[in-house]
Amino acid sequence: MVTAAITGLGSALPSAVDQQALWDAFFCRHFAASRAARRIFTGSGVRRRHTVVNPLSEDLTGWSTAARMRRYAQEAHPLGHRAAAAALAAADVAADEVGLLTVASCTGYGTPGLDIGLAASLGLRPDVQRLLVGHMGCYAALPALGSAADFVVARRRTAVLVCLELTSLHLQPPTADPQQVVAHALFGDAAAALVLRPRSGNTPFTGPPRLELVDVAAFTDFGSGDHMTWTITDLGFRMELSPQVPDVLAEHVRPGVKSLLARNGLDLPDVRAWAVHPGGPRILDVVQDRLDLPESALAASRTVLADHGNCSSATLLLVLQELTGGGALREGGPVVAMAFGPGLTLYTALLHAIPEPRAGGAPPAR
């Protein structure tokens, strides 16, 4: 049986800016020193973010969407290239081995697009296939991962996935709307990438823990489509985030995860690690509560939220990178990844962590 295995992860981040400095030097004035806005920034769970456009030195609020897209074209390519190159190096994969390049982004567009530019700069073959996953938002990494894995299994060739979001390009004009305050308190910029390779049977891997993709599932609550929106306006893309989002997630997360696990012969206690998209602190609290998880289960997600903010589609790959780098997957076992976004949509994935080889022998059998 052939499976698709994640054999390399990489990321690239623009310059960091302190969350408190953002509030003190820009957003305090931007939101008219609102005490409610201050509370939202303080309670965001974010310590710092990375941005290609730092509002402390460059205010984009009056920029047209066209100007913002020109800046996206300028900033996105070098960031995406660094992330993809890092993932290829971690996987020890040469550029000419790649059969598919998938790019997920909802913060910028243009043609020829980021996928074509990356294929050229990375030195991929001219016959490489490309897939662009656009405007799906925070959960885009999982359907993109599922599609790339299908290619790997069907064609027995390597695929690269790049998730890149530059949310700082979409700073909106001053407003009293609390939904805008939440969005501007949470989101940051990042590029993250992974390499998927075909794996047959118990073929061993060396190095850090590897992850096989086992299954992917989706659930969309069609009655709550207006709770989270990402609308193209004349002044960039504008996000609306209803305070009811955590309540909708609370209704669906447990049955959704249990269904994914049950069809693979597993239940919640079998899961060794959790890679949860940190949409915000309330989202993580809801997941932890509804799944009866210990605080430690979401430590990687809370760390990513604190260090990077919510980076939309790139965030989940950052959480996987945090998990693998921190040794949480060293012993192997089932891993559940999940992310949520417009729809409202909950995407889940079941992965299997391949244990690290033990001294003097192959990794233990699954």
The tokens of 299 are what?
């430590």
List Cα–Cα distances, 90 to 200, 240, 315, in angstroms.
20, 37, 19
Residue whose token pair is 């359907």: 143
Distance of CA 227 to the CA centre of its chain: 20
AA identity, residue 94: A
CB 328 within 8 A of CB 273: yes
Q: Which residues are catalytic?
A: 138
Q: Which long-range contacts (CB under 8 A, 24 or more apart) does 53-59 make?
A: 53/166, 53/168, 53/169, 53/171, 54/15, 54/17, 54/168, 55/22, 55/26, 55/27, 55/30, 55/168, 55/171, 56/17, 56/21, 56/22, 56/25, 56/26, 59/26, 59/171
Quickly list DSSP for 47-105: SEEE-SS-TTT---TT--HHHHHHHHHHHHHHHHHHHHHHHHHHHT--GGGEEEEEEEE
Q: What is the C-alpha to C-alpha distance for residues 288 and 254, in angstroms, rounded to an integer?
A: 10
* Secondary structure class of 294 (helix, strand, coil): coil
Residue whose token pair is 């993250």: 192
